[in-house]
Amino acid sequence: MKTKALNLIKTKTNLIPLSIILLGILWTLFLVFQNPENIFFSGDGGLKALLARQWATGTLRFDLTLPTLPWVEELWKKGLYPFEAPFIYLISNQYYITFPFTFPLISAPFYSLFGYYGLYVIPLVSTWCIWLTFYWLCERFNISKLLTVLGLMTLIFGSPVSIYSATYWEHTLGVALSFGGVAILLKSNSNNFSKTQAIGSGILIGLSVWFREELILLVFLLFLTVFIYTLPQCKSWNLVPQHKLIFLGTMALTVLLFFTINFLIYHHPLGVHAVQVLEDPSLKSRIRKAIANFNKLNEYLFDKFPITFLIVIAYPLSILFHEKFKIDKKHKILFIISISFIILISMILPSSEGISLESRTGGKQWGPRFILPLIPIISWLTIISFKDLLRANRRTYLNYASLAFYVILLAVSIHKNFYSGSIYIQEGNKNGTALMNAIHDTPHQIVAVSHQYVSQGLLFSNPEKTILLVKDTESLRLLAHQLVKQGYPNFLYICYAHRPCPVPKENAQNLTFKVDNNQFLINFTELGKAGNTPLYQGVISKLS
């Protein structure tokens, strides 16, 4: 009787982590379906969706093709194309989005099957795989159910990762692949690390580069780590116990295949991203930007994921008190790799000054998306170090104090991500919905925008409209000249709310132009706002 009762209690205890994962699945589904149809968290999601829809409808090209009229194409050539660098580059007279083609390509079948919400299948499932990988690690390392529950709550409800399940971005897929490969390495030892595991880990980490190119830095660091720890004095710190060449070879071949495909398509192994990264060759400028990026990334990491404070405390302690507080050497290596990753990625990211912390070093985001692969690693390092800390600390009151500190940081993390993150997604959708509805309701066929961020969010939901980028009066006169020829007396002008928008406020002298010796004037009338986005009607009238 007692045995049955104990088994029942054990079974119910085992179900708690799975119940947390189930709650996380329900929450992320809720987040996804909070997105109104054809609205994206960020404009570049709209660009990727355009390419995915292009493939889904049978146009099997790697460049972005927007069906339009010849006179519109002429305006594109003169600088009125709705998108510009660093999001799109003109290569050999074809427009290519900056982002890897792989994510829109594998999203296309789901768009064909399920429409707009099919685009979120991969971000969702990838997020769930990250959680399951974490749970698998906890089981393999015999982590207590209490720490497993705390770890899952940290990763699911207290980290930025889950928020990205509701964005049409490839970040969660890149994280799932890289974390899966790292998890295989962590559980390996000299007795059970098979060739199959070496191949699997290498392929997963290599494939992550196909979707998030900054993960090439993880590949580089793993190569460097394996090389360093083949030295006689470092052998006891081995991350890959055996089959090193198989692991490194598989990882390298997977990445090289991606580089080869990039070269065939874009004539550069790094793809279009290479153009962006290599735009500023100045070493002095790069160092200055790297320092700024490093500070911003860390500031944002600690802000959105306060649990990071724990490993910042734990790992230096493990070095100072290595006899009492023993953390596994593999995890110390992983800690060093994580810090190195932040340093290296700071050097390759373009620095961007935004209007808020959320808009810096990576544009609109929730948590520092360029170091998102470190979030599950930090969550795992926290749990494993906490396990060792509790084991080394025999004084009960210190155990309770440590747990209390963890729970406080976890509560702050959950508030920032589960609560504030959900609101952030919903508030962002409101402006997008208001603008989309305004465009649907307007009779204007021609839409001019002051910034490409507006067109990124509109073109996917309004394929029937002609949307052009008009940033200054010179572009405006080019547009108006063509509109007179094509018989359009007016157009809609949309200002991006977070940047200066001088065109509608120009004096009349700067808004006149000639067509066939006839003088014309452009008059702007305020139409109010759609959400926080100012709208104007431009009317073209003949003066003589």
Number of neighbouring beta carbons within 10 Å of residue 307: 24
Rounded to the nearest 10°, the torsion over CA 383, 386, 388, 389 is: 170
Starting at the edge strand found earlier in the chain, the sheet holding 446-449 runs 466-469, 446-449, 490-494, 533-542, 518-530, 512-515
CA distances from 161 to 340, 371, 448, 531 (A): 21, 11, 36, 28
Torsion angles phi and psi, residue 528, rounded to 5: 95, -155
Cβ proximity of 175 and 372 under 8 Å = yes
What's the rounded Cα separation, in Å, for the pair 12 and 16? 7
Angle, helices 171-187/121-140, rounded to nearest 10 degrees? 20
Residue position matching structure tokens 């066939």: 516
Amino acid identity for residue 165 in this structure: S
DSSP designation for 91: E
CA distances from 165 to 119, 160, 171, 326, 498 (A): 11, 10, 9, 36, 26
Q: What is the pLDDT of residue 6?
A: 46
Cα–Cα–Cα angle for 135, 139, 144, nearest 5°? 100
377-403 burial: b if 16+ Cβ within 10 Å, else e: bbbbbbbbbbbbbbebeeeeeeeeebe
Question: Which of 367, 373, 101 lies closest to 215 in space, CA to CA?
Answer: 373
Burial of 66: CB neighbours in 10 Å, binned 0-12, 13-18, 19+: middle
Amino acid identity for residue 534 in this structure: P
Q: What is the pLDDT of residue 347?
A: 87
Q: What is the pLDDT of residue 355?
A: 34
The two tokens of residue 285 are: 């400028």
Burial of 358: CB neighbours in 10 Å, binned 0-12, 13-18, 19+: middle
What's CA 177's distance to the chain center, in Å? 14
Q: What is the pLDDT of residue 357?
A: 40
Q: What is the pLDDT of residue 17?
A: 94
Q: Mind listing the pLDDT tens digit of every residue in the chain (544 residues)?
A: 555 544 555 566 778 999 999 999 999 999 999 999 999 998 889 999 999 999 999 999 999 999 889 999 999 999 999 999 889 999 888 999 999 999 999 999 999 999 999 999 999 999 999 999 999 999 999 999 999 999 999 999 999 999 999 999 999 999 999 999 999 998 876 567 889 999 999 999 999 999 999 999 999 999 999 888 777 666 666 778 788 899 999 999 999 999 999 999 988 888 886 666 555 556 677 778 888 889 999 999 999 999 998 888 877 766 666 556 666 778 888 999 999 999 999 988 865 543 344 444 556 888 889 999 999 999 999 998 887 777 766 666 767 787 888 899 999 999 999 999 999 998 888 888 888 888 888 899 999 999 999 998 899 999 899 999 999 999 999 999 999 999 999 999 999 988 999 999 988 888 999 888 889 999 999 999 998 899 999 999 988 6
The beta strand positions in 141-268, using DSSP E, are: none
Amino acid identity for residue 456 in this structure: Q
Q: What is the pLDDT of residue 4?
A: 55
Residues forming a β-bridge with 522:
540
What's the rounded Cα separation, in Å, for the pair 156 and 124? 12
